[in-house]
Amino acid sequence: MARLVVISNRVADPRKPAAGGLAVALGESLQQTGGLWFGWSGTIVEDGPTGEGEMHRQQAGKVTLATLDLSREDHDAYYLGYSNKVLWPVFHNRLDLANFDAGFIGGYRRVNQLFARKLLPLLQPDDIIWVHDYHLIPLAAELRAMGCKQKIGFFLHIPLPPQIILAAIPQHEWLMRSLFAYDVVGFQAQQDVQHFDRYVSNEAHGESLGHDRFRAWGQTVRASAFPIGIDVDEFLALTHAKEARDMHETMKREYSQRRLLLGIDRLDYSKGIPQRARAFRELLARYPENHRSATLIQIASPTREDVDAYGDIRRELESLCGAINGDYGELDWMPVRYIHRTVARKRVPGLCRAAAVGLVTPLRDGMNLVAKEYVAAQDPADPGVLVLSRFAGAAEQLKEALLVNPYDTHGTAETIQQALHMPLEERRARHQKLLARIREQDVHWWRRTFLEALRDAPGVE
The residue from 157, 172, 248, 431 that is catalytic is 157
Build a one-symbol-per-residue string for 100-139: x at contacts with ligand GDG by CB under 6 A, - elsewhere: ----------------------------------------
Stretch that binds ligand GDG, among 166-174, 240-248, 280-288, 342-350 (CB under 6 A): 342-350
Residue 24 beta carbon to ligand GDG: minimum distance, rounded to whole angstroms: 5
Give the C-alpha separation, 106 to 71, whole Å: 14
Helix 369-377 with 21-33: angle, nearest 10 deg: 80
Backbone angles phi, psi at 391, to 5 degrees: -95, 5
Give the C-alpha separation, 399 to 388, whole Å: 9
User: What is the DSSP secondary structure assignment for residue 121, as one 8-state letter?
Assistant: G
Is 340 a residue of the active site?
no
Q: Is 377 in the site for ligand GDG (CB under 6 A)?
A: no
Give the C-alpha separation, 330 to 273, whole Å: 23
- The answer to whether the CB of 259 falls within 8 A of the CB of 295 is yes
Distances (CA, A) of 299 to 160, 227, 272: 27, 25, 13
Number of residues lying near ligand GDG (CB under 6 A): 25
Stretch that binds ligand GDG, among 165-173, 305-313, 360-368, 434-442 (CB under 6 A): 360-368
Could you tell me which of 41, 34, 35 has the C-alpha nearest to residue 11?
A: 41
- The answer to whether the CB of 354 falls within 8 A of the CB of 255 is yes
Q: Is 21 in the site for ligand GDG (CB under 6 A)?
A: yes
State which residue, 110 or 132, has the beta carbon closest to ligand GDG: 132
State which residue, 157 or 278, has the beta carbon closest to ligand GDG: 157
Is 157 a residue of the active site?
yes
With CB under 6 A as the contact rule, the residue among 6, 90, 158, 324 that binds ligand GDG is 158
Q: Is 53 in the site for ligand GDG (CB under 6 A)?
A: no
Q: Is 368 in the site for ligand GDG (CB under 6 A)?
A: yes
Say if strands 402-404 and 259-266 run parallel, antiparallel, or are unpaired: unpaired
Q: Is 142 in the site for ligand GDG (CB under 6 A)?
A: no
State which residue, 158 or 179, has the beta carbon closest to ligand GDG: 158
Q: Angle at Cα 118 formed by Cα 117 and Cα 123, nearest 5°? A: 95
State which residue, 328 or 391, has the beta carbon closest to ligand GDG: 391
With CB under 6 A as the contact rule, the residue among 5, 185, 283, 348 that binds ligand GDG is 348
